[in-house]
Structure 1
Amino acid sequence: MIYLVTRHQGAVEWCARHKITVDACLPHLDVETIQAGDTVIGTLPIPLAAAVAARGGHYWHLTVPVTWAQRGQELTATQLEDMGASLQAYHVTAAE
């Protein structure tokens, strides 16, 4: 399964424009649903990204270089493209 975790329609449309296949779009991730081999795309907090990896999932971070003035604003897919949004794979593990 490929999950897109976002509440933002611009992110959904950005993924579609970039032909990123998504099986489910969720406003919030319940990490208990993640199975080995699943992929999660979004802007997860570090502990949640680590939990995805601990369950055998893959995490791709939607990186959006927002300015201070843009924080908290709803951005369109076009704005995300203009800002250079990108996906970057991360493997996050908690330090012991």
Structure 2
Amino acid sequence: MSIYFVTRHPGAYDWAFAEGLQVDAVVAHLDPAIIQPGDQIIGSLPVNLAAEVCTRGGRYLHLSLDLPPDLRGEELSIEQMRTCGARIEEYRILPVNRHEGD
């Protein structure tokens, strides 16, 4: 089992390690092909990638924030992340395959 932290944001990286998060690798982009059953993927992934993590038997732990509109698109500091309630929450996301006529 491996633990990956997916981020390209220095503030998220700094926050995670200030909070004592232990990971095997920090990656800017996730290649779903590397995921093995039991792996933990931590980050803020697009829903289709989070679903692929779960489909491959991985655990998806979302880096959640209560982000006000004026901070969207900004690089956040550790203090801003804490103010925005940064936390890690596990989700199970699975795709629903729809067929024509359903």
Could you say which TM-score interval applies, normalised by the shorter chain?
over 0.9
Matched residue, 1:46: 47
Indicate the SS of the match to 1:61: strand
CA–CA distance in structure 1, aligned partners of residues 78 and 37 of structure 2: 30
Q: Name the residue aligned to 1:6.
A: 7
* Match in the other structure for 1:70: 71
CA distance in 2 between partners of 1:93 and 1:25 (Å) = 24
**Aligned residue identity for 1:45:** P
Distance (Å, rounded) in 1 between the aligned partners of 2:88 and 2:82? 12
- Gap runs ≥5 in structure 2: 98-102
Give the ranges of 4+ consecutive aligned residues of structure 1 lying more than 4 Å apart after TM superposition: none
Structure 1 portions without partners, runs of 5+: none
Structure of larger gyration radius: 2
TM-score with structure 1 length normalisation?
0.95
Q: Please give the TM-score of this superposition, normalised by the length of structure 2.
A: 0.90
Deviation string for 1:11-40 (max 9, x for gaps)? Answer: 111111111111111111000011111000
Aligned residues: 96
In 2, the alpha carbon distance for the partners of 1:82 and 1:64 equals 9
Deviations 1:27-77 (A, max 9, x none): 110000111110000010111001001111000000011111111100011
Partner AA of 2:4 in structure 1: Y
Equivalent position of 2:28 in the other structure: 27
Q: Which residue of 2 aligns with 1:89?
A: 90
Coordinate RMSD, CA, aligned: 0.8
1:68-91 per-position Cα deviation (integer Å, ceiling 9, x unaligned): 111110001111012111110001
Letter of the aligned partner of 1:77 in structure 2? Answer: I
